[in-house]
C-alpha cells in the first residue's frame, strides 16, 4: 500500500537536494523511477499522452496539500510543491535504510533532468515493464508506438543506456 | 440505424438501435433500474430517486453528440479535412456508444455508497468487465460487431467485442496490446474519463434535476458545440479539446461540479446515512463482502438490500436506525478548504476532547477518497491525460484552463471538510464543548 508520507518525503528530499520545488510532472516521473529502481512505494501507474502517471500519487498529493503537509505554488505553469513541517514533521514510513539511500540516489541522479527527458526515460521503462519482448528494438518500437516522432531514435537509444541503472537487462 | 426512442427528462428523446436495445433489455442492464444514482441522497433530497438506468442512457446520448461535435469542429477548422475516414468514424462512434451504455453495469447497490464492501482491490469497474464479458451482454455486443462488419463490408480489424471495449475503457496498461490503436483509443476514452467527460456532463444535470437544485446546471449546448480535437500526429497526441469560445461554459461546468460536491454529494446527512447503510450491508452480506461471482453479484440491487435490512430489523439496532432514518448530529465541521494549521489543530483538539468526554461515541468523516472527484484544474499536458486543451485560433499551442480562467484557478485548493457527529442525546453537550474550545482558541 502507498503511504502519503513517503510522497511527502520524496518532495522534501527533492527540495533539499536540488534547492527547488518539483512540479507535478517531475514528481510523477521521479516516483516512477524510484519504483523501477526497486523501492515499492505502492503507486500504480498507467499511461496517457505525456508519460506514465499514477492517479493514486496525484490523489495523495492533493490530500497532503489539504492537510497542510505540502504547499502548492500555483503562480507558475507547473504547480510546484514544497513541504510544510509547521504542523507535522515529514518522516518516511516503512522504508529501510537501504531503500531511503536508493531514493536519495535516484533523486540526486535524475532530479536535475528536464521533464521531457524524464518523460522519455519513464516511457521507455514503462514499455520495458509491459512488453513481453524485452529486446532493444522492441522497446524502441514500443516507445515510438506511444510517443510517435516526439523523440528521435537516437534519443530513445540514449535513454536505454540508463536501463542498467535500474537493473533492466536488454539485449 | 437508430430505431427506438426513450423519453428522458434531461435530454428529450434518446435514440438507440435495435441491437443496442437488446443490451438495454437484458437482465444485467435492467438491474440498473434498481440502483439509485445517488445512494441515500433520496433521504435528504426526496426527489433523488433516479437510477443508473437513466444515467447510462443519458451518457450514451451525450457521447454521441460530443463525438460528432468535436469531429465536425475539427473538420471545419482544418480546411474540411476529416480526422477519421467514414468507416473508422462510424466504428469509433459505435464503440463509444457501447462503452457509455455499459460503463456503469458493475455498480453495487446504492452506487458508490457501498463500494468499500468489495473484495480487496476490486472496484465496480472490475464487475463491469465481468458483466460485459461473461453475461448475455457479451453476445449482444458481438452481434453489434458482426452487423457493423457486414454493413460496411470490413474485416476483423473492425470487430467490436466486449474485450475490445474493456481494452479501451478499463484496461490499466493496454498500450502494447496489438489491438490497441494509439492515439485514437486514448482519445475515445477521454469522452468518458477526463475533466470534460460525458459521464460528468450527464450526472450533473440529472442529479441537479432530480434533487431539485440548480447547482449542477450549466450550458450543455454551448459546451458541446465548443468541443474540438487537439491533434499532433507527429507526437501521437489526440486530445479532446475545447475552442476558446466555450471557456465560459467550461467554467460553468467545473463550478457546477464544485457546488454539487458541496451541496449534494458531500451533504452531511447523506454522508452519515451512507455510512449507516454500509454498516447494515456489512451485517447482511455473507462474509461482509459482495460476492465475486458475477451471477451472484447481479442478484444484489437496492431492492434486495432493503428487503434484507427489513427482515433483520427486529434484531438489529442499526437496521432499525437506518429504516427510521435516525441520524447522528453533526456538531462540528471544518471550513471548506481547511488546510491552515489553526483549522487542523482546532479540529484535532475538538475530536480528542469529545472522544474523551463521550467515551469514543463520535463518528468522523472526511472528504478523502470520495468517489465523486473533487474538481481540479489540470494543465492540458498534465500526465493525467485529463486536462483539456483550449484551442485559440491564432496560437499554435493550446492553452490550459488555468491560463484562461482566474475563476477556476481559485478552485485549486482541495476541498477538505472534516466533520464530527454525535448521537442526538449528546448533541447539546457536544455543541457546548465545541463552542468553549473554539472560544478558548480564538480568545473570545
A47–B173 C-beta distance less than 8 A: yes
What strand order describes the sheet that includes B329-333?
A: B329-333, B418-422, B363-366
- Give the minimum alpha-carbon distance from B370 to chain A in angstroms, rounded to a whole number: 10
Quick one: closest CA in A to B175, which residue?
Answer: A146
Residue located via cell numbers 499551442: B397
A24–B235 C-beta distance less than 8 A: no
Tell me the count of A-B CB pairs closer than 8 A: 104
Determine the pLDDT at residue B371. Answer: 44
- Compare CB distances from A53 to B235, B341, B385 and report the shortest one's residue: B385
Segment A117-129 mean pLDDT: 97
Cα(B366)–Cα(B419) distance, integer angstroms: 6
For β-strands B390-391 and B237-243, DSSP reports them as parallel
For B21, counting Cβ atoms within 10 Å of its Cβ (0-12 exposed, 13-18 middle, 19+ buried), the class is middle
Range 368-387 of B in CB contact (< 8 A) with A: 368-369, 374, 376, 379, 381-386
Largest CA distance in chain B: 79
What is the per-residue pLDDT across A12-22, written as a single tens digit (0 to 9) for each? 999 999 998 89
Determine the pLDDT at residue A73. Answer: 76
- Compare CB distances from A66 to B382, B402, B416 and report the shortest one's residue: B416
What is the per-residue pLDDT across A21-71, written as a single tens digit (0 to 9) for each? 898 889 999 999 999 999 999 999 999 888 999 988 988 888 788 777 888
- Compare CB distances from A62 to B172, B340, B414 and report the shortest one's residue: B414
Chain B residues in contact with A145 (beta carbon < 8 A): 175-176, 182, 236
- Where are chain B's structural domains? 2-268
A142 vs B: CB within 8 A: yes
- Where are chain A's structural domains? 4-166
Q: Which of A104-118, A147-161, B34-48, B371-385 has the lowest mean pLDDT?
A: B371-385
Handedness of CA A61, A66, A70, A74 (dihedral sign): positive
Cα(B106)–Cα(B99) distance, integer angstroms: 13
Determine the pLDDT at residue B372. Answer: 44
Quick one: closest CA in A to B413, which residue?
Answer: A66
Contact predicate B253/B85, CB 8 Å? no
Provide the residue-wise pLDDT of chain B in tens; the chain has 444 residues.
668 999 999 999 999 999 999 999 999 999 999 999 999 999 999 999 999 999 999 999 999 999 999 999 999 999 999 999 999 999 999 999 999 999 999 999 998 767 788 887 788 889 999 999 999 999 999 999 999 999 999 999 999 999 999 999 999 999 999 999 999 999 999 999 988 999 999 999 999 999 999 999 999 999 999 999 999 999 999 999 999 999 999 999 999 999 999 999 999 999 999 999 999 999 999 999 999 999 999 999 999 999 999 999 999 999 999 999 999 999 999 888 776 667 778 888 999 999 999 887 899 998 765 544 555 667 777 777 677 899 988 888 898 887 888 888 777 777 888 899 999 999 999 999 999 998 887 765
- Give the minimum alpha-carbon distance from A149 to chain B in angstroms, rounded to a whole number: 5
- Give the minimum alpha-carbon distance from A64 to chain B in angstroms, rounded to a whole number: 9
- Give the minimum alpha-carbon distance from B235 to chain A in angstroms, rounded to a whole number: 5
Span B2-268: which CATH code?
A: 1.10.3210.10
Stated pTM of the model: 0.93
B234 vs A: CB within 8 A: yes
Question: What are the E-state strand segments in chain A?
Answer: 46-48, 51-53, 70-73, 80-83
- Give the minimum alpha-carbon distance from A76 to chain B in angstroms, rounded to a whole number: 10
Determine the pLDDT at residue B368. Answer: 67
How open is the CA angle A21-B383-B178, to the nearest 5 degrees?
A: 150
B385–A50 C-beta distance less than 8 A: yes
Question: Taking Cα atoms as reference points, which of B162, B169, B94, B164 lies closest to residue B130?
Answer: B162
| Cα end-to-end span (Å), chain A | 33
A145 vs B: CB within 8 A: yes
Amino acid at each position: 500500500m502507498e503511504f502519503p508520507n513517503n510522497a511527502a518525503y520524496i518532495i522534501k528530499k527533492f527540495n533539499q537536494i536540488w534547492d527547488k520545488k518539483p512540479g507535478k510532472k517531475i514528481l510523477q516521473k521521479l516516483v516512477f523511477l524510484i519504483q523501477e529502481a526497486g523501492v515499492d512505494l505502492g503507486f500504480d501507474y498507467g499511461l496517457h499522452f505525456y508519460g506514465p502517471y499514477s492517479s493514486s500519487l496525484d490523489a495523495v498529493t492533493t490530500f497532503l496539500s489539504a492537510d497542510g503537509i505540502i504547499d502548492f505554488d500555483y503562480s507558475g505553469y507547473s504547480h510546484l510543491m514544497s513541504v510544510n513541517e509547521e504542523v507535522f514533521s515529514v518522516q518516511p514510513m516503512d522504508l529501510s535504510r537501504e531503500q531511503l539511500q536508493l531514493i536519495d540516489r535516484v533523486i540526486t541522479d535524475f532530479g536535475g533532468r528536464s521533464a521531457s527527458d524524464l518523460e522519455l526515460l519513464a516511457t521507455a521503462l514503462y514499455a520495458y515493464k509491459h512488453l513481453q519482448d524485452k529486446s532493444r528494438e522492441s522497446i524502441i518500437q514500443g516507445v515510438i508506438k506511444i510517443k510517435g516522432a516526439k523523440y528521435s531514435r537516437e534519443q530513445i537509444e540514449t535513454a536505454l543506456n540508463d536501463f542498467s541503472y535500474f537493473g533492466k537487462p536488454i539485449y | 440505424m437508430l430505431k427506438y426512442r426513450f423519453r428522458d427528462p434531461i435530454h428529450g428523446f434518446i435514440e438507440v438501435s435495435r441491437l443496442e436495445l437488446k443490451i438495454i433489455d437484458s437482465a444485467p442492464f435492467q438491474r440498473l433500474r434498481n440502483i439509485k444514482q445517488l445512494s441515500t441522497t433520496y433521504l435528504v433530497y426526496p426527489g433523488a430517486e433516479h437510477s443508473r438506468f437513466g444515467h447510462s442512457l443519458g451518457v450514451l446520448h451525450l457521447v454521441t453528440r460530443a463525438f460528432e461535435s468535436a469531429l465536425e469542429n475539427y473538420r471545419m477548422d482544418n480546411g474540411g479535412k476529416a480526422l477519421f475516414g467514414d468507416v473508422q468514424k462510424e466504428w469509433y462512434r459505435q464503440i463509444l456508444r457501447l462503452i457509455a451504455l455499459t460503463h456503469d453495469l458493475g455498480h453495487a447497490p446504492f452506487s458508490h455508497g457501498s463500494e468499500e464492501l468489495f473484495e480487496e482491490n476490486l472496484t465496480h469497474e472490475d464487475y463491469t468487465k465481468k458483466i460485459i464479458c461473461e453475461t448475455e451482454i457479451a453476445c449482444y455486443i458481438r452481434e453489434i460487431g458482426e452487423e457493423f462488419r457486414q454493413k460496411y463490408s470490413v474485416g476483423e480489424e473492425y470487430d467490436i467485442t466486449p474485450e475490445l471495449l474493456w481494452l479501451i475503457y478499463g484496461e490499466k496498461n493496454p498500450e502494447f496490446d496489438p489491438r490497441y490503436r494509439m492515439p485514437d483509443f486514448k482519445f475515445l476514452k477521454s469522452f468518458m474519463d477526463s475533466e470534460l467527460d460525458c459521464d460528468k456532463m450527464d450526472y450533473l444535470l440529472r442529479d441537479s434535476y432530480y434533487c431539485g437544485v440548480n447547482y449542477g446546471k450549466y450550458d450543455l449546448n454551448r459546451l458541446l458545440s465548443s468541443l474540438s480535437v487537439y491533434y499532433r500526429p507527429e507526437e501521437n497526441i489526440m486530445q479532446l479539446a475545447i475552442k476558446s469560445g466555450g471557456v465560459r461554459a467550461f467554467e460553468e461546468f467545473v463550478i457546477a461540479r464544485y457546488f454539487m460536491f458541496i451541496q449534494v454529494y458531500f451533504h452531511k446527512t447523506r454522508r452519515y446515512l451512507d455510512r449507516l447503510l454500509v454498516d447494515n450491508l456489512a451485517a447482511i452480506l455473507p462474509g461482509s463482502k459482495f460476492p465475486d461471482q458475477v451471477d451472484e453479484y447481479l442478484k444484489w440491487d437496492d431492492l434486495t438490500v432493503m428487503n434484507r435490512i427489513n427482515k433483520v430489523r427486529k434484531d438489529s439496532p442499526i437496521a432499525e436506525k437506518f429504516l427510521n432514518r435516525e441520524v447522528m448530529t453533526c456538531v462540528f465541521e471544518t471550513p471548506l478548504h481547511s488546510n491552515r494549521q489553526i483549522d487542523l489543530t482546532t479540529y484535532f483538539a475538538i475530536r480528542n476532547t469529545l472522544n474523551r468526554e463521550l467515551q469514543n461515541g463520535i463518528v468522523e468523516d472526511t472528504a478523502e477518497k470520495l468517489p465523486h472527484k473533487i474538481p481540479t484544474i489540470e494543465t492540458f499536458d498534465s500526465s493525467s491525460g485529463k486536462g483539456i486543451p483550449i484551442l485559440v485560433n491564432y496560437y499554435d499551442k493550446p492553452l490550459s484552463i488555468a491560463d484562461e480562467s482566474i475563476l477556476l484557478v481559485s478552485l485549486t485548493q482541495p476541498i477538505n471538510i472534516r466533520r464530527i457527529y454525535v448521537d442526538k442525546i449528546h448533541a447539546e453537550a457536544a455543541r457546548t464543548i465545541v463552542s468553549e474550545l473554539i472560544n478558548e482558541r480564538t480568545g473570545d
